[in-house]
Protein backbone atom coordinates (compact mmCIF):
# COMPACT_ATOMS: atom_id res chain seq x y z
CA UNK A 1 0.00 0.00 0.00
CA UNK A 2 1.58 3.26 -1.21
CA UNK A 3 1.40 6.09 1.31
CA UNK A 4 2.05 9.84 1.22
CA UNK A 5 2.70 11.28 4.67
CA UNK A 6 1.93 14.98 5.13
CA UNK A 7 3.74 16.26 8.18
CA UNK A 8 6.63 14.54 9.93
CA UNK A 9 6.44 15.71 13.54
CA UNK A 10 5.98 13.54 16.62
CA UNK A 11 2.97 11.65 15.22
CA UNK A 12 4.43 11.09 11.74
CA UNK A 13 7.72 9.83 13.16
CA UNK A 14 5.92 7.58 15.67
CA UNK A 15 3.92 6.08 12.81
CA UNK A 16 7.03 5.33 10.76
CA UNK A 17 8.64 3.72 13.83
CA UNK A 18 5.52 1.55 14.20
CA UNK A 19 5.80 0.51 10.54
CA UNK A 20 9.44 -0.51 11.13
CA UNK A 21 8.88 -2.38 14.40
CA UNK A 22 5.76 -4.22 13.22
CA UNK A 23 6.53 -4.80 9.54
CA UNK A 24 6.63 -8.62 9.73
CA UNK A 25 3.61 -8.82 12.01
CA UNK A 26 1.54 -6.45 9.81
CA UNK A 27 2.24 -8.51 6.72
CA UNK A 28 1.74 -11.91 8.37
CA UNK A 29 -1.49 -10.96 10.18
CA UNK A 30 -3.13 -8.48 7.83
CA UNK A 31 -1.32 -8.70 4.49
CA UNK A 32 -0.36 -5.03 4.92
CA UNK A 33 2.96 -3.84 3.51
CA UNK A 34 3.06 -0.08 4.00
CA UNK A 35 5.27 1.59 1.37
CA UNK A 36 5.87 5.26 2.15
CA UNK A 37 6.53 6.94 -1.21
CA UNK A 38 6.57 10.58 -0.09
CA UNK A 39 7.01 12.53 3.14
CA UNK A 40 7.14 16.24 3.71
CA UNK A 41 7.79 18.48 6.71
CA UNK A 42 7.92 22.27 7.02
CA UNK A 43 11.42 22.48 5.48
CA UNK A 44 11.33 20.04 2.57
CA UNK A 45 10.45 16.56 1.41
CA UNK A 46 11.69 13.09 0.54
CA UNK A 47 10.26 11.11 -2.36
CA UNK A 48 10.89 7.63 -3.75
CA UNK A 49 8.23 5.91 -5.83
CA UNK A 50 9.71 2.50 -4.99
CA UNK A 51 9.42 3.23 -1.23
CA UNK A 52 11.57 5.24 1.17
CA UNK A 53 13.99 3.55 3.57
CA UNK A 54 12.10 4.24 6.80
CA UNK A 55 15.00 3.73 9.20
CA UNK A 56 17.13 6.13 7.15
CA UNK A 57 14.24 8.62 7.10
CA UNK A 58 14.06 8.67 10.93
CA UNK A 59 17.84 9.12 11.22
CA UNK A 60 17.92 11.97 8.69
CA UNK A 61 15.09 13.78 10.48
CA UNK A 62 16.87 13.36 13.81
CA UNK A 63 20.20 14.62 12.46
CA UNK A 64 19.03 17.54 10.29
CA UNK A 65 15.59 18.37 11.69
CA UNK A 66 14.08 17.83 8.23
CA UNK A 67 13.64 15.02 5.70
CA UNK A 68 14.89 17.11 2.76
CA UNK A 69 18.46 15.83 3.31
CA UNK A 70 17.29 12.26 2.66
CA UNK A 71 18.68 12.26 -0.90
CA UNK A 72 21.71 14.02 -2.40
CA UNK A 73 19.43 16.01 -4.69
CA UNK A 74 17.32 17.96 -2.23
CA UNK A 75 13.60 17.88 -2.84
CA UNK A 76 11.36 20.91 -2.47
CA UNK A 77 8.03 19.28 -3.22
CA UNK A 78 5.22 20.71 -1.11
CA UNK A 79 2.50 18.40 0.19
CA UNK A 80 0.27 19.47 -2.71
CA UNK A 81 3.06 18.79 -5.26
CA UNK A 82 3.41 15.26 -3.90
CA UNK A 83 -0.33 14.60 -4.04
CA UNK A 84 -0.48 15.81 -7.65
CA UNK A 85 2.69 14.12 -8.93
CA UNK A 86 3.13 10.84 -7.03
CA UNK A 87 1.02 7.71 -7.37
CA UNK A 88 -0.29 6.66 -3.96
CA UNK A 89 -3.23 4.80 -2.45
CA UNK A 90 -3.52 6.64 0.87
CA UNK A 91 -2.76 10.13 2.14
CA UNK A 92 -2.02 10.41 5.87
CA UNK A 93 -2.49 14.00 7.07
CA UNK A 94 -0.67 14.85 10.32
CA UNK A 95 0.07 18.58 9.92
CA UNK A 96 -0.90 20.93 12.78
CA UNK A 97 -4.59 21.69 13.35
CA UNK A 98 -5.56 25.21 12.31
CA UNK A 99 -9.06 26.39 13.22
CA UNK A 100 -8.98 29.64 11.23
CA UNK A 101 -8.95 28.24 7.67
CA UNK A 102 -7.80 24.61 8.24
CA UNK A 103 -4.81 25.02 5.91
CA UNK A 104 -2.65 23.38 4.70
CA UNK A 105 -4.54 20.23 5.74
CA UNK A 106 -7.74 21.16 3.92
CA UNK A 107 -5.95 21.54 0.57
CA UNK A 108 -4.07 18.25 1.08
CA UNK A 109 -7.24 16.30 1.95
CA UNK A 110 -9.50 17.69 -0.78
CA UNK A 111 -6.88 17.26 -3.51
CA UNK A 112 -6.06 13.72 -2.39
CA UNK A 113 -9.76 12.77 -2.50
CA UNK A 114 -10.14 14.29 -5.96
CA UNK A 115 -7.10 12.23 -7.06
CA UNK A 116 -8.83 9.06 -5.85
CA UNK A 117 -6.72 8.55 -2.72
CA UNK A 118 -8.16 7.29 0.56
CA UNK A 119 -7.45 9.72 3.40
CA UNK A 120 -6.56 9.31 7.08
CA UNK A 121 -6.41 12.53 9.09
CA UNK A 122 -5.35 13.23 12.65
CA UNK A 123 -5.51 16.94 11.80
CA UNK A 124 -8.73 18.23 13.39
CA UNK A 125 -8.88 21.60 11.57
CA UNK A 126 -10.49 20.46 8.29
CA UNK A 127 -13.02 18.27 10.15
CA UNK A 128 -13.91 21.02 12.61
CA UNK A 129 -14.58 23.55 9.87
CA UNK A 130 -15.97 21.43 7.04
CA UNK A 131 -16.97 17.95 8.28
CA UNK A 132 -20.23 17.63 6.26
CA UNK A 133 -18.69 18.73 2.96
CA UNK A 134 -15.58 16.54 3.40
CA UNK A 135 -17.79 13.48 3.95
CA UNK A 136 -19.74 14.35 0.79
CA UNK A 137 -16.51 14.80 -1.18
CA UNK A 138 -15.25 11.37 -0.02
CA UNK A 139 -18.55 9.73 -1.04
CA UNK A 140 -18.57 11.53 -4.39
CA UNK A 141 -15.01 10.38 -5.18
CA UNK A 142 -15.67 6.87 -3.80
CA UNK A 143 -12.79 7.02 -1.34
CA UNK A 144 -12.60 6.22 2.37
CA UNK A 145 -12.06 8.99 4.89
CA UNK A 146 -10.85 7.89 8.34
CA UNK A 147 -10.07 10.05 11.36
CA UNK A 148 -10.22 7.91 14.52
CA UNK A 149 -7.11 9.64 15.96
CA UNK A 150 -8.77 13.08 16.00
CA UNK A 151 -10.75 12.30 19.17
CA UNK A 152 -9.14 10.48 22.08
CA UNK A 153 -5.79 9.75 20.41
CA UNK A 154 -5.24 6.03 20.88
CA UNK A 155 -8.55 5.48 22.74
CA UNK A 156 -11.08 4.26 20.14
CA UNK A 157 -13.91 6.64 21.11
CA UNK A 158 -15.30 7.16 17.60
CA UNK A 159 -15.18 3.44 16.77
CA UNK A 160 -16.89 2.56 20.03
CA UNK A 161 -19.79 4.98 19.54
CA UNK A 162 -20.32 3.98 15.91
CA UNK A 163 -19.76 0.23 16.08
CA UNK A 164 -20.15 -1.07 19.63
CA UNK A 165 -23.48 0.69 20.07
CA UNK A 166 -24.89 -0.39 16.69
CA UNK A 167 -28.66 -0.60 16.74
CA UNK A 168 -28.77 1.72 19.75
CA UNK A 169 -29.75 5.37 19.51
CA UNK A 170 -27.33 7.60 21.38
CA UNK A 171 -29.38 10.47 22.82
CA UNK A 172 -26.60 12.56 24.35
CA UNK A 173 -22.96 12.50 25.39
CA UNK A 174 -20.56 14.51 27.54
CA UNK A 175 -16.88 14.23 28.17
CA UNK A 176 -13.43 15.51 29.01
CA UNK A 177 -11.86 15.68 25.56
CA UNK A 178 -8.72 17.73 26.26
CA UNK A 179 -6.01 16.14 28.41
CA UNK A 180 -4.01 19.37 28.82
CA UNK A 181 -6.79 21.35 30.50
CA UNK A 182 -7.64 18.31 32.61
CA UNK A 183 -4.02 18.14 33.79
CA UNK A 184 -4.05 21.87 34.67
CA UNK A 185 -7.36 21.62 36.57
CA UNK A 186 -6.15 18.50 38.41
CA UNK A 187 -3.02 20.37 39.53
CA UNK A 188 -5.12 23.34 40.64
CA UNK A 189 -7.21 20.94 42.75
CA UNK A 190 -3.91 19.82 44.30
CA UNK A 191 -3.13 23.38 45.37
CA UNK A 192 -1.29 25.00 42.44
CA UNK A 193 -2.32 28.40 41.05
CA UNK A 194 -3.53 28.56 37.42
CA UNK A 195 -0.20 30.03 36.23
CA UNK A 196 1.90 27.47 38.13
CA UNK A 197 -0.26 24.61 36.78
CA UNK A 198 0.01 26.00 33.23
CA UNK A 199 3.80 26.31 33.48
CA UNK A 200 4.06 22.75 34.78
CA UNK A 201 1.95 21.48 31.84
CA UNK A 202 4.19 23.44 29.43
CA UNK A 203 7.36 21.99 30.96
CA UNK A 204 6.02 18.48 30.27
CA UNK A 205 5.19 19.33 26.64
CA UNK A 206 1.42 18.96 27.10
CA UNK A 207 0.44 22.44 25.88
CA UNK A 208 -0.06 23.21 22.17
CA UNK A 209 2.35 25.74 20.59
CA UNK A 210 -0.69 28.03 20.37
CA UNK A 211 -1.88 27.70 23.97
CA UNK A 212 -5.32 29.21 23.19
CA UNK A 213 -6.24 25.92 21.44
CA UNK A 214 -6.16 24.23 24.85
CA UNK A 215 -6.98 27.05 27.27
CA UNK A 216 -9.89 28.60 25.31
CA UNK A 217 -11.49 25.22 24.63
CA UNK A 218 -10.93 25.23 20.84
CA UNK A 219 -9.37 21.76 20.79
CA UNK A 220 -12.29 20.33 22.81
CA UNK A 221 -14.78 22.19 20.58
CA UNK A 222 -13.20 20.71 17.43
CA UNK A 223 -13.51 17.20 18.89
CA UNK A 224 -17.12 17.93 19.88
CA UNK A 225 -17.89 18.88 16.25
CA UNK A 226 -16.38 15.62 14.98
CA UNK A 227 -18.31 13.54 17.55
CA UNK A 228 -21.63 15.33 16.96
CA UNK A 229 -21.36 14.78 13.20
CA UNK A 230 -20.11 11.22 13.36
CA UNK A 231 -22.17 9.88 16.26
CA UNK A 232 -25.35 11.95 16.10
CA UNK A 233 -25.45 12.56 12.33
CA UNK A 234 -25.58 16.29 12.86
CA UNK A 235 -24.30 18.73 10.26
CA UNK A 236 -22.37 21.16 12.43
CA UNK A 237 -19.09 23.09 12.33
CA UNK A 238 -17.04 25.11 14.86
CA UNK A 239 -19.26 28.24 14.85
CA UNK A 240 -22.17 26.10 16.14
CA UNK A 241 -20.39 25.43 19.45
CA UNK A 242 -20.90 27.61 22.53
CA UNK A 243 -17.35 27.65 23.85
CA UNK A 244 -15.79 28.84 27.14
CA UNK A 245 -12.27 27.86 28.17
CA UNK A 246 -10.59 27.56 31.57
CA UNK A 247 -8.73 30.89 31.84
CA UNK A 248 -11.28 32.30 34.30
CA UNK A 249 -11.32 29.24 36.60
CA UNK A 250 -9.95 30.41 39.98
CA UNK A 251 -8.54 28.55 42.97
CA UNK A 252 -11.69 29.77 44.75
CA UNK A 253 -13.92 27.96 42.20
CA UNK A 254 -11.92 24.77 42.74
CA UNK A 255 -12.17 25.00 46.55
CA UNK A 256 -15.93 25.68 46.45
CA UNK A 257 -16.44 22.64 44.23
CA UNK A 258 -14.34 20.47 46.60
CA UNK A 259 -16.61 21.43 49.53
CA UNK A 260 -19.50 19.87 47.59
CA UNK A 261 -17.41 16.76 46.81
CA UNK A 262 -17.09 17.97 43.21
CA UNK A 263 -14.25 18.84 40.84
CA UNK A 264 -14.16 21.49 38.11
CA UNK A 265 -13.64 19.92 34.66
CA UNK A 266 -13.78 21.28 31.11
CA UNK A 267 -16.77 19.40 29.72
CA UNK A 268 -17.78 19.10 26.06
CA UNK A 269 -21.44 18.13 25.84
CA UNK A 270 -24.01 17.34 23.19
CA UNK A 271 -27.51 17.36 24.56
CA UNK A 272 -30.02 19.92 23.37
CA UNK A 273 -27.14 22.21 22.45
CA UNK A 274 -23.43 21.85 21.81
CA UNK A 275 -21.28 23.36 24.50
CA UNK A 276 -17.74 23.37 25.89
CA UNK A 277 -17.39 24.95 29.34
CA UNK A 278 -15.98 24.36 32.85
CA UNK A 279 -18.50 22.49 35.02
CA UNK A 280 -18.61 21.00 38.50
CA UNK A 281 -18.78 17.20 38.47
CA UNK A 282 -19.19 14.87 41.43
CA UNK A 283 -15.93 13.14 42.33
CA UNK A 284 -17.92 9.87 42.29
CA UNK A 285 -18.92 10.33 38.64
CA UNK A 286 -16.98 7.90 36.37
CA UNK A 287 -16.36 10.93 34.12
CA UNK A 288 -14.33 12.62 36.86
CA UNK A 289 -10.85 11.45 35.76
CA UNK A 290 -7.58 13.16 36.63
CA UNK A 291 -4.26 14.06 34.99
CA UNK A 292 -4.09 13.91 31.20
CA UNK A 293 -6.81 11.27 30.87
CA UNK A 294 -9.83 11.71 28.60
CA UNK A 295 -13.28 10.33 29.44
CA UNK A 296 -16.57 10.35 27.59
CA UNK A 297 -20.01 9.12 28.63
CA UNK A 298 -22.53 8.11 25.96
CA UNK A 299 -26.17 7.92 27.01
CA UNK A 300 -28.34 5.74 24.80
CA UNK A 301 -32.04 4.96 24.66
CA UNK A 302 -31.97 1.43 26.08
CA UNK A 303 -28.53 0.60 27.47
CA UNK A 304 -28.16 3.67 29.69
CA UNK A 305 -24.87 5.49 30.14
CA UNK A 306 -21.48 3.99 29.31
CA UNK A 307 -18.20 5.73 29.98
CA UNK A 308 -14.92 5.24 28.11
CA UNK A 309 -11.67 6.36 29.74
CA UNK A 310 -8.25 6.44 28.12
CA UNK A 311 -5.16 8.40 27.18
CA UNK A 312 -6.03 11.37 25.02
CA UNK A 313 -2.85 12.35 23.27
CA UNK A 314 0.70 11.17 22.69
CA UNK A 315 2.68 10.38 19.56
CA UNK A 316 2.55 6.60 19.78
CA UNK A 317 -1.09 6.52 20.89
CA UNK A 318 -2.16 8.67 17.94
CA UNK A 319 0.07 6.69 15.55
CA UNK A 320 -1.65 3.49 16.70
CA UNK A 321 -5.02 5.00 15.74
CA UNK A 322 -3.66 5.78 12.24
CA UNK A 323 -2.55 2.18 11.93
CA UNK A 324 -6.03 1.04 12.96
CA UNK A 325 -7.54 3.22 10.21
CA UNK A 326 -5.02 1.92 7.68
CA UNK A 327 -5.95 -1.69 8.50
CA UNK A 328 -9.64 -0.80 8.07
CA UNK A 329 -8.90 0.61 4.63
CA UNK A 330 -6.82 -2.49 3.75
CA UNK A 331 -9.75 -4.75 4.75
CA UNK A 332 -12.29 -2.71 2.77
CA UNK A 333 -10.08 -2.82 -0.34
CA UNK A 334 -9.66 -6.60 0.08
CA UNK A 335 -13.46 -7.00 0.20
CA UNK A 336 -14.09 -5.20 -3.10
Question: Directed axis angle between helix 194-203 and helix 179-189, to 10°?
Answer: 130
Q: Let me know if 265 is a catalytic residue.
A: no
Closest by alpha carbon to 92, among 70, 109, 104? Answer: 109
Q: How many whole angstroms separate alpha carbon 104 and alpha carbon 74?
A: 22
Q: How many whole angstroms separate alpha carbon 42 and alpha carbon 28?
A: 35
For residue 100, say if its preceding peptide bond is cis, omega within 30 degrees of 0. no
Start-to-end Cα distance in the chain: 15
Catalytic residue among 68, 124, 223, 265: 223
248: number of Cβ within 10 Å? 9
Q: Which residues contact 301 (CB under 8 A, 6 or more apart)?
A: 168, 169, 171
Residue 90's Cβ-count burial label (10 Å; 0-12, 13-18, 19+) is buried
241: number of Cβ within 10 Å? 22
Q: Which residues are catalytic?
A: 223
Amino acid sequence: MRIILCGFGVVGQSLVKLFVSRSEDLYAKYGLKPRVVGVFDSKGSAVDQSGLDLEKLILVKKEFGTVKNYAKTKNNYSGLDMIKNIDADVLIETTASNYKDAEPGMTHITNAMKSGMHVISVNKGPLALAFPSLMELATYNQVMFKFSGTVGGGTPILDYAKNSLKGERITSFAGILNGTTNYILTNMANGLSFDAALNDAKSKGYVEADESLDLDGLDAAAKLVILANWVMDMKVTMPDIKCTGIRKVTTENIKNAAKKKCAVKLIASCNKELEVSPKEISVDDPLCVNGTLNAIAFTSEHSGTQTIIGKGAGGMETASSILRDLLDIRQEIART
